[in-house]
Structure 1
Amino acid sequence: MTFAETETTELKQKFSDSLPKEIVAFLNTDGGTIYIGVDDSGKIQGVSNLDKTLKKIADILEFQILPDCRSFVELGTKFIEQKHIVTINVKKGENLYYIKKYGRSSQGCYVRIGSTTRSMTEEQITLTQNKYFDSKVKITEIESNIQTLTFQYLKLLLTEKGFSINENTFAQNFHLLTKSGSFNKMSELLADKNEFSIKVVRFKGKEKSDGIVMRNEYGEKCLIVAMKQAFDYCADVINETRISFEKGVRKDISLFDKTAFREAWFNACLHNNWADGTPPAIYIFTDRLEIISSGGLPVNLSKDDFFLGVSKPVNEELAKLFIRLDLMEQTGYGVPFVTKHYGKSAFEFLDFFLRVTIPFAFELESEPQSKPQSEPQSEPQKDSKIREKIINEIKKNPKITKEELSKKFELSLSTIKRKLSEMKDIVYFEGASKSGHWVVKDNE
């Protein structure tokens, strides 16, 4: 076994008074292992009094470090080269840890930077404390500023997946209420109308300072609808395909991997710190696409666990809903899939934000080129497509209402009524308004 000091490995020839600092640093960073009885060169020196050393370490954990960290630290021993060494395996903690004697100060709080242990600055301490505080605030426990919410979009999405809706218990079953019975922040996110808006911004060059070409806002509507619209725009409009020929074989090259983008974007929407009211955003440059979400790395998750796909949702009830709607998997598939295509460097962990960068296979034009006049769809062509979609939806669900068609295609109710009136020779409603159904004539 070879020993070397790294970001997650500390070597100590013997027990010393600096041990509390090193344990605290690993607790406050990404965890790691401390080996006592191994010198800086990696040579085994051994521990002469094993029981006494283990007792001293146990006392440090119990009496010298706050908050209680014992559930995150595991003591052990190894017998190597006929010598005993002590192992201290430290997991990333779920709080800001410090040496009790010095309190939450630069003398008491430490982090791991590279292979060294460093004091935290007062600013870092404040930021870390605030981050842990924010992580404990759940969107199911925060009362919404709006208490006149409706959920027709959400109900439609659920019924399409085969769920039955009980109007009397709907809000309670899907955790849309606080303990006091008011609509919570999660309900506001999922409501037909809200105050959240997702931005998709395209820039002229490789920097924001190059100027904006386009800015789309997908907002003030159900989060699931808004995030799908943002995804569709990027996947269908931005994601160009170019053709190349290698040895006479045609090869289609997409600007970026659509599935990797979907996983990164949906995860950003799910794990975003919605408690602070900042929605995720997509920034499109000529050489890359960036997804920004607030909250950063979950406080109870190390970077290693994150990249392995360990799932610890920030918004647990929202995650359960996403799984029910097939928007994500429970297996932690997303992050490993993105890293497989773009590497770990695609993820950048900032103090309060997470940035995912998806590089492009080729460079975009600085501004979208206008298409030839013959390409845009004429109004009759667009109208024909809308009619076709309405007919297909009615064939799938003959009992669908005009209101549901309006929400499905994001057209006004008056537009749907007009289209159906224009199509009366093809589609008609048979029976009473509540018990009847649509009929599509055979010649269509």
Structure 2
Amino acid sequence: MPETNRIEYKRELSEGLEKEVVAFLNYREGGIIYIGIDKEGKTVGVQDADGDQLKIKDRLKNNIRPSALGLFDIVSEERDGKEILKIIVASGSEKPYHLKKYGMSEKGCFIRLGSAAEPMSQKLIEELFASRTRNSIGKIKSHRQDLQFEQLHIYYQEKQKPLNKQFRKNLELTTTAGDLNYAAYLLADDNNVSVKVAKYKGETRVDLMESNEYGYCSLVKATKSVLDKMNLENRTITQITHKERKEHRLWNAIALREAIINAFVHNDYTREIAPKFEIFNDRIEITSAGSLPDGLSKSEFFEGFSIPRNKELMRIYKDLDLVEQLGSGIPRILEYYETNSFNFSENFLRMVLPSAEAVQSDTPQVTPQVTPQVTPQVTPQVTPQVTPQVTPQVTPQVASTGPFKRF
């Protein structure tokens, strides 16, 4: 496969990597950089994949502004029997991204044109900066600064990634002025964010059966609680045929998990609205605030192009293995559900996943009629008692008249 507007090959880890990443961050579709493949598409491999991954993360963290954390993934793959590295770069929402060394200048800002990273004009730099998204959870100062993060510490410790004293800065939980931001507020042990899971008896919102609330805690904890609740609701259906026993669930477990995670990670929290989860007798509806990010079309959305709305959350969910890699969620859902399962409005995105059968089954449980087992009367066969042969004591001239039977 040749290089394209979204694919860049590099034979080895070189000095020009940051330039290519900046170009994809500024490009509306993002892109993928392969390390270990030459310009002709021939696989040459990398010698130290683990070491190169650490170098790449460090370079992209320190050499690009605004921060690209949460906007790229690095995965190791095998191709033609050799190990290569794949860097997945999402389109950023704080354009123009630039090389820290040169600032927002033509030497520091690049954009993808065709199969090359080209310098931006000063005019384009100024236009992008003027329209930059400023109202994000990373830039909004939290109205509370007395936040605690014990739950977050526990989750990182479980993944053997203990947080150090600088974790607030490292995880971008502070504003440029050093105050805790709204992302920190969402991830703190105590907040005022309510996450609801409702269950209705029928196919409308008229008859509420059950209402659960999982908020007022770290958003990670709320996410895990909703995942556990939905896993319980996603019961297994068993069908027994004359040939085999078939089992499937009300909803595909992989797609349902991805839909829940996407709702949490991409929700527009600047509106102070949390995602909502509703279970009806024929479907699940998952509603998140905010429609498509600016610059992303529906077709690009379904193809897996990613513009993370909350890069701070994306980075932490990735650290905790709640998210696998950028842009993988929607394609996973579409493996099992149609594009019409997604409903876009000006202010919301709603995913509607139909159930395989009625969530509340009205079929009465049938107790099978028990036919009593009839044991036929059996006339026992009488086995004659066998008296062991006894060698009689010889008494002179005495005939044996006892009840012995010769066999």
For normalisation by structure 2, the TM-score amounts to 0.56
Question: Could you list the runs of 5+ residues in structure 2 that have no partner in the other structure?
Answer: 1-27, 30-90, 94-129, 366-407
Q: 1:218 aligns with which of 214, 217, 222?
A: 214
3-state SS in 2 of match to 1:290:
strand
Shift of 1:135: 5.5
Partners of 1:233 and 1:319 lie apart in 2 by 22
Could you tell me how far apart the structure 1 residues matched to 2:314 and 2:177 are? 23
Are 1:172 and 2:162 counterparts?
no
Q: CA contact under 8 A between 1:203 and 1:286: conserved in structure 2?
A: yes
Tell me: CA distance 1:162–1:208, structure 2 relative to 1, closer, same or farther (3 Å): same
Greater fraction of residues in helix: 1
CA shift for structure 1 position 302: 1.0
1:287 to 282, 290, 297: 282
Residue of structure 2 in register with 1:190 after alignment? 187
Structure 2 partner of 1:230: 226
1:341 is paired with a residue whose SS is coil
Q: Among residues 136, 139, 144, which one is paired with 1:138 in the alignment?
A: 136
Give the equivalent residue in structure 1 for 2:150: 152
Output aligned runs, 1:54-69, within 5 Å. Answer: none
Indicate the residue corresponding to 1:326 in structure 2: 321
Conserved? CA contact 1:192–1:221, under 8 Å: yes
Deviation at 1:197, TM superposition (A): 1.1
CA distance in 2, matches of 1:345, 1:253: 22
CA distance in 1, matches of 2:162, 2:249: 39
Q: Cα 1:198–1:135, aligned 2, differ >3 Å: closer, same or farther? A: farther
Partners of 1:157 and 1:214 in 2: CA distance: 29
Counterparts in 2 of 1:387-398, with a 5 A limit?
none
Which of these residues, 243, 248, 255, is aligned with residue 250 of structure 2?
255
Match of 2:371 in 1: none
Q: For residues 160 and 289 of structure 1, what CA distance do their matches in structure 2 show? A: 31
**Separation in 1, partners of 2:131, 2:143:** 21
Q: Percent identity?
A: 36
What do the CA deviations read for 1:35-84 (whole angstroms, capped 9, x no partner)? Answer: xxxxxxxxxxxxxxxxxxxxxxxxxxxxxxxxxxxxxxxxxxxxxxxxxx
Q: Which amino acid aligns with 2:158?
A: E
Q: Aligned letter for 1:228?
A: K
Shift of 1:246: 3.0
Contact kept? 2:92, 2:307, Cα under 8 Å: no
Conserved in 2, the CA contact under 8 Å of 1:135 and 1:299? Answer: no
Give the corresponding residue for 1:313: 308
Deviation at residue 136 of structure 1 after TM alignment:
4.2
DSSP-derived class of the 2:214 partner: strand
Which TM-score applies when normalising by structure 1? 0.51
Specify whether residues 135 and 289 from structure 1 end up closer, same or farther in structure 2 by C-alpha distance, changes over 3 A only: farther
Opposite residue 315 of structure 1, the aligned amino acid is N
Q: Where do 4+ consecutive residues of structure 1 move more than 6 Å? A: none
Which of 202, 207, 227 lines up with 2:204 in the alignment? 207
CA distance in 2, matches of 1:228, 1:208: 25
Compare relative contact order (CA 8 Å, sep 6+) and give the higher one, 1 or 2.
Answer: 2
Deviations 1:245-280 (A, max 9, x none): 234210012111111111011011000001111000
Larger-gyration structure (1/2): 2
Structure 1 residue 299: Cα displacement: 1.5
- SS of the residue corresponding to residue 227 of structure 1 reads helix
Matching of residue 277 in structure 1 with residue 272 in structure 2: yes
1:321 counterpart letter in structure 2: I
Q: Is the 8 Å Cα contact of residues 94 and 300 (structure 1) preserved in structure 2?
A: no
SS class of match (1:252) = strand
Residue pair 1:205, 1:366 contacting (<8 A) in 2 also? no
Structure 1 residues 202 and 288, CA gap change in structure 2 (3 angstroms): same
Unaligned runs of 5+ in 1: 1-29, 32-92, 96-131, 371-444
CA shift in 2, pair 1:175/1:331, >3 Å: closer
> In the aligned structure 1, how far is the partner of 2:133 from the partner of 2:353?
27
The answer on whether the counterparts of 2:173 and 2:183 sit within 8 Å (CA) in structure 1 is yes
Q: CA deviation at 1:137?
A: 1.2
Judged with a 3 Å threshold, the aligned counterparts in structure 2 of structure 1 residues 249 and 268 are, in CA distance, closer, same or farther, namely: same
Contact 1:294-1:353 within 8 A present in 2 as well? yes
